[in-house]
Structure formats: C-alpha cells, structure tokens
Structure 1
Amino acid sequence: MKRNVLIIGAGGVAHVVAHKCAQNNAVLGDIHIASRTLSKCQAIIDSVHEKGSLQQDRHLQAHALDAMDIDATKFLIRATHSQIVINVGSPFLNMSVLAACIETGAAYLDTAIHEDPAKVCETPPWYANYEWKRRDACKDARVTAVLGVGFDPGVVNAYARYALDNCFDSVDSIDIIDINAGSHGRYFATNFDPEINFREFTSTVWSWENNAWKSNAMFEHRQDWDMPVTGKVTTYLTGHDELHSMSQNLGVPNIRFWMSFGEHYINVFNVLKNLGLLSEQPVRTARGQEVVPLEVVKAVLPDPASLAPAYTGKTVIGDLIKGIKGGRTQEVLVYNVCDHRACYEEVGSQAISYTAGVPAVAAAMLIANGTWDIGEMANVEELDPAPFIALMNRMGLVTRIRDAQGDRVLDPQQEAPGKTAPARLVNY
C-alpha cells in the first residue's frame, strides 16, 4: 500500500484532483498541494472544505514550491511523507518532478508529455525525446511512473487497450474523437492553459497512418462524426500526446486524433498565428524588453478555471475502433459523456478539467492498492484497463460502449467476466 499524495500544480485540473483525492482519502491518506503561488493552493483547499469533499478528517495542506527545483521537490516529498506524486502542473515540469520521484522512491503520475519551452511539435514519438529515456532509471529504482493518465491522453489509451483485448481479433484503425459541445459565454478562451493549448496547434500535426508518421497542417483535414448526445459535429485532424505511445505499443496501423473547433475559434486562432502572437520564441519590443508572444496572449486570456461557473453543455470523448472479429468487420465506439454544469455543482470545475483530473486520481488509487504499482514506467495502454474503467464508473466518469449489440454502460466484468490482464502488458 502506498499512502499520502502530493499534488503539483494549482490550476483547473489540480482543483479537480484535490477534490477527488479528498473524496477518497480513506485510500489515499494525507493530501498536499504545491505550486509557485501559495494562495492558489490555499484557494483549492478552501474549495474542498466548502464543498465538503473530505471523506475523512485527514491532513490537507498547501505549500509553495518551484517544481523546476529538483532538490526542493525531493525535500517536500520527504517532508510530507508522500508516496504518490500527481503532477498536474505545466508539462515543462515533467522531467524535474520525475527526477525527484526517482530519487525519493515516490510513484509518479502526469497527464501530458513533457515539453521544452523553446520547442513545439518535436520529432515523433514525443515520449522518446524525454520520458522514455528514464525507463531504466525507474525500473532500477522500482519506481512506478504512469505517463499521460488524464482523459486524452489516458482514458482513451485504456479504451483502445480494452477494445483490442475484448472486441477484436485484429484492428485496422483507431480514431480518437474529442468533442466539446459546451459554451462558456466568453468572446474567446481556451479550456486549459492557453500556452499549452496553442502549442499543440501552431506547427506540424502528426498522425499515424499505415504504420508511419504523417505530417499535416492544422485544420487541413476535417471530418464530420455522428456522435451520441451531440449528433453530427465537425472535427479537425490534430496531433496529440496519446498517438505517440499508442502507435508504438498497440500494433495498430492507423491512429488519428480529431478535435471539434467552432468557426469563431478557428478565425481567432488564425489571426493570432498569422500576426506571430502564438510564437514561443522571444521578441524584443521597441522599449528593449524581451517577451514571448505566446506568454503575452496567455496573460490576457481568461483563466480556464474562471470559465466553470457559466459553462453549460456536454463533452463527448471516445475511441472509434474498426477491425475484424470472427472473420467479420466490426466497429466499436467506447466513449464518455460529461456535463459541464454537473461538474461545477460537484467540485466547482468545468468538464474539461474534470475529465482530465478524475483519471489521474483513479490511477493513484490503483497504485495505492497495488493494482497498478508495477515498479517501472508505463503508458496507460500497457496496463490492465478493466479496474481503471470500473473505478472511474464509480467516480463520476462513466464509460459507455456502442457496437452491434447497442449502446450501454461498459462494465468490464459483465462484458468480459473472469478475464483479467497482467499488471504490465507485453507489447505486440
């Protein structure tokens, strides 16, 4: 059993993670929240108390921390006796926090691939540029590190793993479809950190086609999907984190990521990009001050956490998988529907943060009880998805499956009774 959680970050996802850890602190133990800005951590703690999220009366404390400082992070892990670290700060922090976990023996979880602030859309697979270089170090130290365990990446990886193991003899394609059919009422805003959000879209869009990487331009390819709840929605082919592990681990020749964008978002994005305001490279102003345009745009846009009170509508995110079963072609959609208003009423969050935060806590609980405590590094599709899906069904993210038998809640034990996978799956 591992106990006591250190949450690094104090944004919208960290807000959800703190609430969900509090709701399950009988399993997870004490909870600590750390960020550069102590007041943001304290505001999350105040919210936890206001919502009555604490399952038990256990320690809940805020800390000021520069997580780029490995020694300071190691000190805090040890001082708080934290055996699980959930990194939901900026992806720029990943390698520093991972290093601190390896040196202290704490389990490590994150929700996105590490990024270098000076680089965007690097050569794929992105995990090979950073995290996977620490695989041996994790294994030697017997440190569990679960990478990319938000929703996408994260849950969609588990959906793919489940479908491959239970619904198909062979799979030809996985299309990950991310639709936000909600409205926040602002002129323009991003649903998570604007800097990280824009960096995904300003350069090459990578997809996995015919067992090779294919480069595309943003908004070059569009596709309409008829999805549950939302009906027909237009999406665009986009590069995304999960492609970079799933392409290497699942043996599927075609894996693509599609995201919905409204015309207004596209128009504003294109203006900002064409003006050079989404550049990650510094420029010098007429007064001689050096600034990064993308950081300036981030500073003037709404804080994503501030969108929650007025957000209405739903998100639909899932995997559309096509392949062969028993000699016949088959199509399966594994998906989740999440309601912005319901998320706000429960934890004071919008659905984008909720869908990213709940899976990280579910993974922490599976590490705490030993199910996913594998003592090495893994991406989500390398782990048994059944307990993960079952736990999220009870925590607020219900998985559904649509196939030839209809549309229903996916209960892994009912769909595949008695079938369990090893803690660490062997790659194809």
Structure 2
Amino acid sequence: MNRLPPHHLARVGAITLTLGLSPAFLWAGSPHLPQPWRQEAVVDGRDETYNTERFLHLLTFRHSEALPGPTDNGIRGTGGSVSSRRLYLDFRFRQDFGFNHDHQGFLLDIQRSEDLDGTYQRQLVGFRHNLTDNTELWLQGDVFSDKAQSDVYFSARHYLDRDHWIHASWILPDAYFNSKTDSGDEFIREPQSFFVQWHLGTEATAPAAGTLVSINVSPPSEFSSRTENLVVESKSLNAAVRHSRATENWLWQVEISGELTRRHYQLGGETLAGRADFERDHVKFAASVSDSHRRFQPRLGLYYLSLEEDGFFGRALNDVGTVSRREPTLYTDLTLPLSARTTLSPGVYLSKPDIDEHYLRNRGRQENGFIGKLTLPFKTVLSAQDGAVLTLNPTFYLHKFGFGGGNLQLHWPM
C-alpha cells in the first residue's frame, strides 16, 4: 500500500484549512486519545466545584480549527480563563519523526489537559516499527524520574487503505508501582486500560470530513493509599463517535461522546469515614452545519451536555454530594475577512442550564436561567504554506455585564 508521508498529508490539510473549512469538535480530555487510569483521579479527584458558566466557557474556548486533529501531527493548543483564579488549558504537541524510509519512527506526544477528575500532563516518548506495509507496532512510555509513576503503552495500527485504519492500545498505568514506590501505597488489583479506534477518512483534499470512533476502557482495579487513608475500587468506560460530511455547499458535523465511571471507597479518618461510592454518567452531543462557499461562511450549531455525579468526590474536595447538570446551547457565527491573513468570526452562544448541586461541606447551587456569551475571535494565518493559525478570542457575557474571559489558540499542522 502506498501511504502518503505524514508531512505531505499535513501540507495538503494546511491548504484546505486556509480555505475556511469549519472545525471538527475537539474537546479537552478527548476520548479520541487514549485516556488511561490515573491515580490522582481516583484518589484526589478534582479540586473545585464548577461555577454556572463553566461548560459554556469550555464550549466557547474549544479548538476552532480542524487541523491538527487528534490523529494528526502538529501543535494544537487552546487556553482561557474560566474563573478569577482558574485557567483552562488543552495543549498537545505530537510528531512522528520517521526514518529509514519511514519504516521506523520516533514518537513524541506531549499533552496538558483536563477532564472531570482534574488536570493532567503526559509526555509520551516511543518508537514505531512498520511490521508490513499495512501494519505498525508502537511502544511508548510516559516516563517520570519516579519510576513508580511511569505508564507503558503497547499499540498496533493496521491500515485498510491510505486513510482507513484500526488502532488498538494496551496501557499499563503506573506499571512498576508496587515494586518501585516507597510511599507505603499499593495496588491490590493492578490497573490496565484499553483503547480502540476506527478511522475512516475521505479524500485528502477534505480532511474535515470522515468518521472517527474511539473507545477507552479501564476494567476494575483496586488501590490502597495509606497517605490518603483510603482504599478505592474503580472502573470506567468512555467513548465517542464523530462524523463529518462535506457536500457541494455544506459541511455537516455530528459528535456524541459519553463517560461512565464507578468507584467504591473505604474511607478512614476523623471527618469522613466508612463506605462511600461514586457514580458518574456524562453525555455530550454536538452538531453543526456550515456553508463555507458563501462569502461570510455562516454556521449554526447545537450542543447538549448532561452530567450526573453522586457520592464521594475524592480527597481534594473531601466531600460527598450530588451534581445534576443539563445544558442545551444554541450558537451561530460567521467569518468576516479583515485582510489577506486575518479574519474576525463573531459568534453568539445562548444556553439555558438546569443545575442542581448539593454538597455536604461545600456550598450548593441551583440555577435555571438563560446565560450567554458573545465571542470575537481574531484569526491570523502565521504561515499559509504550513497552515499555522493563531487565534485571539475575547468573550463577553450576554446575561450580565462583564468580560467573559480571554482565549488564546495556536494550531500548527506538521
């Protein structure tokens, strides 16, 4: 099979990007990337309760460019203020440095992001070997100076066609923990995670179109933390399906993703002790349609989020509670050329969240009113040849007078 080298694919994608195709939905903590079991997630959990506008912020700060996507080489980063003391950041630099006529490659994948259990960082380094023209084997590691924290990834990818492949990973989180730690903590049942992905692209001239299906599974594991005075059993499943279709005049995009997490704690201590469970059910749906052939490239989108959490949230909050959030959002935007390399894409986001949160020790929240934001992203093409785009996106609240947070993005296919 004659596959295009990665840098050629990126160059073709960059040309298309500068023509103004609408972006795919690229979320933080994306299930389109392997999301292995994390010790800090099950022990500490997130260290904050979300404010009313939290998920509206994440929607308006999401990646605004189609390339590079989760399966591509390059830099994609977005960051923005979600509160007076919190910065949301989703950054990734991935590169496959091929050598020996691209039969082997050095893999580098640096990630800083967050999910519903808090922030995380990964620095994956590894090696790719082409077993045949159609099949690759990958070995990667998230390596730390403390050997007990290192993760090991075993992966394989099989190409059915140039842009049609199946990828699978077996991940051993904290692979050497029991034999290397000096903390007194230990695994009673060691964790492992599995990631499976199916990718079906279209012609290289339309990289925004195609189908991507991803599944992350972490089977039951059990961890004993003497430092935090708890034992936790945990399992999780998250998955996503994304489909984009380009017709003569329209680009249609749909994505559905979901997470199911179950944890069972045995807590010791003076404040909270005894048996405590935790359940999370999380679903997101997003759809948009845009017409890039019209002068102002109008787009209309719908987004819906459902989050149900109940139980013990981890030692960071050290609290028991329930969270119920249902947030439908309608948005629209268009693109106004300002110069040969700069555009302004004003957008309006209107949401009516239904929020009901109760905690044992923290303040609860009940909301059922309209919220909204005006976004004014200025996009500058740094390199038309490479498809590098820098975006400065100031936002403003519509439901109250005030600045809604600044957002900076960089997308650079490589």
Structures share a fold, TM > 0.5? no
Task: Output the TM-score relative to the length of structure 2.
Answer: 0.29
TM-score by length of 1: 0.29
Structure with greater strand share of residues: 2
The structure, 1 or 2, with the larger RCO (C-alpha pairs under 8 Å, 6+ apart) is 1
Report the structure number with the largest CA radius of gyration: 2
